[in-house]
A and B are shown apart, each in its own frame.
Chain A
Amino acid sequence: MAASETSNGTALRYAFGNVLSFFILLLIGVLAFSIRLFSVIKYESVIHEFDPYFNYRVTQYLTKNGIYDFWNWFDDRTWYPLGRVIGGTVYPGLTLTAGTLYWILNSLNIPLSVETVCVFTAPIFSAFASWATYLLTKEVKGAGAGLTAAVLLAMVPSYISRSVAGSYDNEAVAIFALIFTFFLYIKTLNTGSLFYATLNAIAYFYMVCSWGGYTFIINLIPMHVLLCIVTGRYSSRLYIAYAPLVVLGTLLASLVPVVGFNAVLTSEHFGSFLVFIIIHVMALVYYIKGILSPKMFKVAVTLVLSIGLVVCCAVIAVLVALVASSPTKGWSGRSLSLLDPTYASKYIPIIASVSEHQPPTWPSYFMDINVLAFLVPAGIIACFSPLSDASSFVVLYIVTSVYFSGVMVRLMLVLAPAACIMSGIALSASFDVFTRSIKFQLPGVKGNSQVDAGYTSSEGVVVQNEVAKTDKNEEALKERPSKKNRKKEKEHLEKPSVKAQVKKRLLVLPFEASIIAILLLILLGAFYVVHSVWAAAEAYSAPSIVLTSYSHDGLHVFDDFREAYSWLSHNTEVDDKVASWWDYGYQTTAMANRTVIVDNNTWNNTHIATVGTAMSSPEKAAWEIFDSLDVKYVLVVFGGLVGYPSDDINKFLWMVRIGGGVFPHIKEPDYLRDGQYRIDSQATPTMLNCLMYKLSYYRFVETDGKAFDRVRRTEIGKKHFKLTHFEEVFTTHHWMVRIYKLKPQKNRIRGKAKKSRSKPSSTTSTKRSETQRKNPWH
């Protein structure tokens, strides 16, 4: 009777625990969603930054024209005159997700605009991501650690920075897909079920759809498999978790147009095939070992080893030959710069010029993962006791992601979930130890502690044993029947419990120490929460399309970008081409709906270099380049009046570098005075005469009479000048965006005649060929 009562009690407790954790998860989801709404509350519901505008435009196209038009979409509004095949060059996951959300909502008669759906996609998926973190950590270390990790992930600043409302970028859904794929892998590894293996491959497909970072998965999982094999932890569950994933995953990945045959042809994926072969060999070895007697097996090993070595050498030789025959050794530039951090800055200025591809600084670690950085080592230690397949995977995950985050600031995002999982494990393990020590030393709540301990399986048995031994009271006697019950169920658990008993007793800490430690941990958690909320509210929610600043006379809002783009869309012809540096390409096509020359996709270095060359050339040469590209308007961003630091003058050296990389007549030293970049009276004449300088500072002296640049904090070098080939057509309220129109060609015959008279014909021909080389669009 008593036994059934207590088992009823534990069942109730289980149910209660499940309901409780369900509600906790629900609240975590709400927290993850709402902490990302600061940007909407403080600013407005807009799309942020640069890339999200492109994604937004693609989503609009998708919802308007349907999926088939989307796959076949050739975009003529960008990369003029080349254009771009959108369907084959984007990762479609994010767009399809938001499009599906939009369709579902509209079929339910909830008429949201596409923009609203896009703005809120990232917060919704961050809630999903924290649930996926719960599942993953639960598989590794139990539900307590799972809940802690989910809370931590819901507000880790690094992830918030990429997923605030309005930040509609690939990473928003990709982090969820990443964690969920890892969860399914671990789940398959723990259960050995083919069903989860299928789901795992489909989750991997979603990840491939959403982000180029999928190569991290397809390299990390083989690494873990290899680690398991090398450390002698091979099991048939490992085979079921890995082998179907490779076959199905490779096929699914090649279905995504942007990946295509790369899934079998590039070196990023070769590692997985190699491990695929190795795991088959291991499976065969284990199988033969199982059916043969040990003595015969030894014979077989010696026999096979000699043949196997030869075969292995042959396979490796074939692989090496394959790798060597493919261009750039089969590695893409971004992946190479991951392996060799100095690669990009040496060879590809366009990758190095993006600020999020730079290596991070130490403060950025503290800013982005805060106290988690200190908890991670503790988590690693907790993972080693005891080391299982799942926990070794998490350890491997954190180690590799720490390395990658050290190479590129952007990959801090991959580190954040790993850090959250580790810290969740560490926090929950330490709370476990401290609360247990308190429980043992509180005489008043002994009865409680027993029932409490009763519902954790093996640990509970141990705790009961200990309590029963240390102080024999009648409550222990009461427990006995239920203990017997459990003994029947879990005979195999009894053996390790004896060993664990000794260990557990060592883990009991002094009462005061554990109370203080718990208080300190709570304080640490509170500090983390305060920091995260501050980061979400202040640091990461600025949309960068609308800027604000506080000064003594209140809040200023700079809405110059949208002012300029709407001017363009209202005052220019539909087919006019607008040239600007590539940062503003996506925004111009999305908001002004005008054709641009280059945009943030940066796939054609030469084309970008052409624009860079034009910006760094003197007015006449620049006019010729732009005219050959059919450009009608030139747009420059200028922050000198209001002190907006990321303007075109500050990016100008990259234009010179990228332009000079393709057209050697642009030389960086020409723009630098003694190695220093300056725009005051000490600046070089090349600098003072280049187009970017002129377009930025034209009529600037009229603002305050001194032409004082607030970003560079100097007076500019050349104040009074006139434009000969361009005319100013629009300058926004705070002068942040200035739009110029190319003047129509002058009377051509007179100019030509003059030129041909002054120069002999032979030199004109060489000159012509030279200009042709300088400008491919002539």
Chain B
Amino acid sequence: MVKSTSKDAHALFHSLRSAYAATPTNLKIIDLYVVFSVFTALIQVVYMAIVGSFPFNSFLSGVLSCIGTAVLAVCLRIQVNKENKEFKDLPPERAFADFVLCNLVLHLVIMNFLG
């Protein structure tokens, strides 16, 4: 039982990796960016758990800035993905402009909230 699951897991891992290897480089870069910002958010949460959440607005803006960036990057990734049929008529330049605008608003708000 255990052996079969581990074998399944191994096969799954293998096929995931081979499937992911086929994705274009620009999408991989975006993925890396997402992972990085989620990781930063996690570090902040851990730091909060250890030190305490005293300037709560600073903590909140730090974490939400990371999560927000990640979410927006995921949105960008969805929009520029060639395999996504829904966004065929959306040029990647437009998607990137939207992404920049949204980020601008997000970080203006965060700068206001940082306190």
> A residues bordering B, Cβ < 8 Å?
192-195, 197-198, 201-202, 235-237, 239-240, 243-244, 247-248, 250-252, 254-255, 261, 264, 283, 288, 290-293, 296, 299-300, 303
- Note all chain A residues with C-beta closer than 8 A to B74: 239, 243, 283
Contact indicator B75/A240 (Cβ below 8 Å): yes
Is the beta-carbon distance between A296 and B75 smaller than 8 angstroms? no
Contact A251 B5 (CB under 8 A): no
- Within the complex, the shortest CB–CB distance from A112 to chain B, in Å, comes to 31
A293 touching B64 in the complex, CB below 8 Å, given contacts A194-B79, A198-B105, A202-B105:
no
Residues of chain A with a CB closer than 8 A to B84's CB: 236
- Cβ-based interface call for B57 (8 A): yes
**Residue from A195, A201, A247, A299 in contact with B64 in the complex, judged by beta carbons closer than 8 Å:** A247
Which residues of B are interface residues toward A (Cβ below 8 A)?
5, 8-9, 11-12, 15-16, 19-20, 23, 56-57, 60-61, 64, 67-68, 71-72, 74-76, 78-79, 83-84, 86-87, 90, 95, 98-99, 101-102, 105-106, 109-110, 112-113
Query: Which residues on the A side are within 8 Å of B113 (C-beta)?
Result: 251, 254-255
Which of these, B11, B56, B112, contacts A299 with CB under 8 Å? B11
Q: Are A248 and B68 in contact (CB under 8 A)?
A: yes
Q: Please state if A251 and B79 are interface contacts (CB–CB under 8 Å).
A: no
A247 touches B67 (CB 8 A): yes
Chain A proximity of B22: nearest CB distance (Å): 8
Q: Is the CB of B98 within 8 A of A193?
A: yes
Question: How would you classify the secondary structure of chain A's contact residues: helix, strand, loop or mixed?
Answer: helix
User: CB < 8 Å: which of A236, A244, A254, A290 contacts B60?
Assistant: A254
Contact A244 B20, beta carbon cutoff 8 Å: no
Give the Cβ gap from A340 to chain B, nearest Cβ, in Å: 30
Name, among A240, A261, A288, the residue most crowded by chain B CB atoms within 10 Å (CB to CB). A240
> Closest B-chain residue to A300, C-beta based?
B12
Task: Give the most central of B68, B75, B110: most A CB within 10 Å.
Answer: B75
A293 adjacent to B15 (CB under 8 Å)? yes
Whether B75 and A194, one on each chain, are in contact in the complex, defined by CB atoms closer than 8 angstroms, is: yes
7 A-B interface contacts by CB (under 8 A): A192-B78, A194-B98, A236-B84, A248-B105, A248-B106, A261-B57, A296-B12
Bound form: Cα–Cα A240–B78 in Å: 9
Query: Is B12 a contact partner of A299 (Cβ separation < 8 A)?
Result: yes
**8 closest pairs, A vs B, by CB?**
A194-B98, A247-B68, A291-B19, A236-B78, A243-B71, A195-B98, A198-B102, A296-B15
Which of B11, B56, B98, B109 neighbours the largest number of chain A CB atoms within 10 Å of its CB? B109
Question: Residues of A contacting B78 with CB < 8 Å?
Answer: 192, 236, 239-240
Provide the bound-state CA to CA distance between A201 and B113, in Å: 16
Give the interface SS of chain B, mostly helix, strand, loop or mixed.
helix
A495 CB to nearest B CB, Å: 17
Q: Do the beta carbons of A251 and B109 come within 8 Å of each other?
A: yes
Q: How far is the CA of A247 from the CA of B105 in the complex (A)?
A: 12
What separation, in Å, do the CA atoms of A194 and B77 have in the docked complex? 12
Chain B residues positioned under 8 Å from A244 (CB to CB): 68, 71-72, 75, 102
A455→B16 CA distance, assembly (Å): 49
B83→A194 contact, CB < 8 A: no
State A254–B56 Cα separation when bound (angstroms).
11
- Please tell me which one of the listed residues A197, A264, A288, A299 contacts residue B75 in the complex, with CB atoms under 8 A apart: A197
14 additional contacts, CB 8 Å, given A192-B90, A194-B76, A194-B102? Answer: A194-B79, A195-B102, A235-B86, A236-B87, A243-B71, A244-B68, A248-B68, A248-B109, A254-B60, A255-B109, A255-B112, A291-B16, A299-B12, A303-B9
Candidate in B76, B84, B98, B110 with the most chain A CB atoms within 10 angstroms: B98
Query: B64: which A residues are within 8 A, CB to CB?
Result: 247, 250-251
User: Which of the residues A193, A194, A303 comes within 8 Å of B12, measured between beta carbons?
Assistant: A303
Contacts of B56 in A (CB 8 A): 261
Least CB separation from A288: chain B residue = B16
Question: Are A194 and B71 within 8 A (Cβ)?
Answer: no
Give the CA-CA distance A197 to B72 in the complex, in Å: 10
Query: Are A292 and B86 touching (Cβ within 8 A)?
Result: no
Residues of the A chain whose Cβ atoms lie less than 8 Å from the Cβ of B101? 194-195, 198
Shortest distance from the beta carbon of A330 to any chain B beta carbon, whole Å: 16
Closest Cβ–Cβ distance, residue B55 to chain A (whole Å) = 12
- CA–CA, A235 to B85, complex, Å? 11
CA distance A290 to B81 in the complex (A): 12
The reply to whether B11 and A290 form a contact with Cβ atoms under 8 Å apart is: no
Contacts of A300 in B (CB 8 A): 12
Instruction: Tell me whether B106 and A251 are in contact (CB under 8 A).
Output: yes
Determine the distance from Cα of A377 to Cα of B109 in the docked complex, in whole angstroms.
42
Q: Is the CB of A251 within 8 A of B68?
A: yes
Q: Which residues of B contact A288 (CB under 8 A)?
A: 16
- Residues of chain A contacted by B15 (CB below 8 angstroms): 292-293, 296
Q: How far is the CA of A296 from the CA of B60 in the complex (A)?
A: 39
- In the complex, the chain B residue whose C-beta lies closest to that of A235 is B86
Task: Report Cα–Cα, A237/B75, bound state, in Å.
Answer: 9
Determine which residue in A236, A296, A299 has the highest number of CB atoms from chain B within 10 A of its CB, and name it.
A236
**Contact of A252 with B102 at beta-carbon distance under 8 Å, contacts A194-B95, A197-B75, A303-B12 already known:** no
Pairwise interchain contact A194-B60, C-beta atoms closer than 8 A: no
Q: Please measure, in the bound complex, the distance between the C-alpha atom of A726 and the C-alpha atom of B5, giving whole angstroms.
A: 88
With both chains docked as a complex, state the minimum distance between the C-beta of B114 and any C-beta of chain A, in angstroms: 11
B residues less than 8 Å from A195 (CB atoms): 98, 101-102
Cβ 8 A contact of A291, one of B20, B75, B102? B20
Whether A197 touches B109, Cβ cut-off 8 Å, given contacts A247-B68, A299-B11, is no
- Complex formed: what's the CA distance from A264 to B48 in Å? 16
Question: Please, which residue of chain B has its CB at the minimum distance from the CB of A191?
Answer: B90
Whether A192 contacts B79 by the Cβ 8 Å rule is yes
Q: Is the CB of B16 within 8 A of A292?
A: yes
